[in-house]
């Protein structure tokens, strides 16, 4: 009897050890990570409440496309199809890294001449579509051969930009009312690019498998950088795997709203007040540090996104879901308030016909670049 009881105890213990292992595998699976973390939800699912929020303010404004008046000099105010170069030209030069616009079909030597003319004579550089979103086709270019390859494979208008080599990347959301320079900083997101830290014996492939965030990027890295996967970082060595600070490329977005204060607000008020007919948007930028930014006002803008940009701090994994949608609502309330002021000044939104045609052109463009 004692022997039978002992066998049962051992069986139960073995089952108890096996069960956590089984569930641990499930919890590490990509499907589980995606379903249980809001930041990885499909856009259509995460944006369902957003559609209702926009519809609510459209009813209040009595204009379906009320938001298109917020930034009149940006296509659709930045909801879709906007030119990055068009926006960068409206930011004070001191805050924009050297950038050239490359028109589709431009000869490679002509591209090199344009780069040299603005001082883009050092590698690496960043190439990105002039019209694009969520890091699609953004690439760090290390030499002429890679640039020529990018030019031949991507038959689109694109930008070549100096790589901003500053340690801190931020996404800072700002707005101001028409006719006023007074600026509100409503969101600060601190970006942590995708990294792994070595243990002295595991390959980068193995290290990525152990990280939920990195594991979601594993297939892309296996396809694009197979040689990297076999490297074994030294104990304690941290490697940046992805320099592009985009959420869909594995960057972690952290809530940095505690840094908002009058001194920091003044920095962005100085810049936004010089950007005529732009009242709302997000600076995706780099600087040396928050303290240096406050004291000197020095930063470089990789991109400025209009009303289609989210207050990026909501992607912090620790930020409660109800607060995420509360903050989205508050930001769209600001867009609505700016649109009311613009309407009072006689600024008219896009017509439905114009919007449909604009969206059709943008959709066709997205389909074309998706096939490259």
Note the pLDDT tens digit of each residue in 173-209: 999 999 999 999 999 999 999 999 999 999 999 999 9
Domain boundaries, the chain: 2-36, 43-96+166-192+251-370, 98-163, 197-241
Q: Are 248 and 39 a contacting pair, CB within 8 Å?
A: no
pLDDT given for residue 12 in this prediction? 41
Q: Are the beta carbons of 269 and 148 closer than 8 angstroms?
A: no
- Read off the pLDDT of each residue in 135-157 and give the average, rounded to a whole number: 91
Give whole-number Cα distances, 216 to 40, 153, 233, 252, 314, in Å: 10, 26, 20, 12, 20
How do residues 212-249 score in pLDDT, each as one tens digit?
Answer: 889 999 999 999 999 999 999 999 999 999 888 888 88
Q: What is the pLDDT of residues 15-30, one digit of tens each?
A: 444 445 666 666 666 6
- Helices and strands (DSSP H and E) totals, the chain: 14, 11
Q: Check: CB of residue 84 under 8 Å from CB of residue 131.
A: yes
Question: pLDDT-based confidence at 63, cuts 50/70/90?
Answer: very high
The span from the CA of 139 to the CA of 353, in Å, is 35
Q: How far apart are CA 188 and CA 2, in angstroms?
A: 65
Q: What is the mean pLDDT of the chain?
A: 90
pLDDT at res. 3: 41
Top-level CATH class of 98-163? alpha beta
Phi and psi at 26, nearest 5°, equal -65, -45
Q: Give me the pLDDT at residue 17, please.
A: 43
Q: Is the pLDDT of residue 51 over 80?
A: yes
C-alpha to C-alpha distance for 191 and 303, rounded to whole angstroms: 14
Helix (H, G, I), strand (E, B) or coil at 280: strand
pLDDT value at position 85? Answer: 96
**Average pLDDT of 76-95?**
96
pLDDT, average across residues 84-111: 96
**Beta carbons of 112 and 144 less than 8 angstroms apart:** yes
Q: Model's pTM, two decimal places? A: 0.87
**Candidate from 1-10, 34-43, 101-110, 310-319 with smallest mean pLDDT:** 1-10
């Amino acid at each position: 009897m004692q022997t039978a009881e002992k066998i049962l105890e051992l069986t139960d213990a073995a089952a108890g050890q096996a069960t956590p292992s089984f569930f641990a595998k499930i919890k590490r699976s990509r499907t589980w990570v995606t379903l249980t973390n809001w930041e990885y939800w499909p856009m259509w699912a995460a944006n369902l409440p957003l559609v209702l929020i926009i519809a609510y303010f459209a009813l209040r404004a009595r204009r379906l496309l009320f938001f298109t008046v917020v930034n009149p000099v940006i296509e659709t105010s930045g909801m879709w199809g906007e030119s990055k170069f068009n926006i960068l030209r409206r930011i004070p030069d001191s805050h924009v890294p050297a950038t050239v616009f490359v028109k589709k079909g431009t000869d490679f030597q002509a591209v090199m001449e344009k780069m040299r003319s603005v001082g883009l004579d050092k590698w690496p550089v960043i190439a990105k579509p002039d019209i694009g979103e969520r890091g699609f086709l953004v690439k760090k270019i290390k030499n002429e051969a890679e640039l020529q390859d990018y030019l031949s494979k991507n038959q689109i208008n694109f930008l070549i930009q100096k790589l901003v080599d500053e340690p801190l990347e931020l996404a800072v959301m700002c707005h101001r009312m028409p006719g006023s320079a007074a600026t509100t900083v409503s969101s600060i997101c601190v970006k942590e690019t995708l990294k792994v830290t070595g243990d002295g014996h595991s390959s980068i492939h193995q290290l990525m498998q152990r990280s939920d965030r990195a594991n979601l990027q594993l297939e892309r890295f296996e396809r694009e950088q197979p040689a990297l996967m076999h490297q074994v970082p030294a104990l304690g060595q941290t490697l940046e795997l992805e320099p592009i600070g985009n959420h869909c490329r594995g960057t972690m977005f952290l809530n940095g709203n505690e840094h908002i204060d009058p001194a920091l607000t003044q920095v962005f008020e100085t810049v936004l007040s010089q950007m005529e007919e732009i009242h709302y948007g997000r600076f995706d930028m780099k600087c040396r540090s928050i303290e240096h930014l406050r004291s000197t006002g020095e930063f470089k803008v990789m991109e400025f996104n209009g009303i289609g940009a989210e207050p990026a701090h909501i992607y912090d994994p620790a930020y409660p879901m109800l607060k995420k949608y509360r903050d989205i609502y508050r930001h769209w309330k600001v867009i609505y308030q700016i649109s009311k002021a613009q309407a009072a000044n006689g600024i008219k939104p896009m017509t439905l016909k114009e919007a449909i045609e604009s969206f059709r052109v943008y959709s066709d463009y997205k389909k074309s670049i998706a096939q490259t």
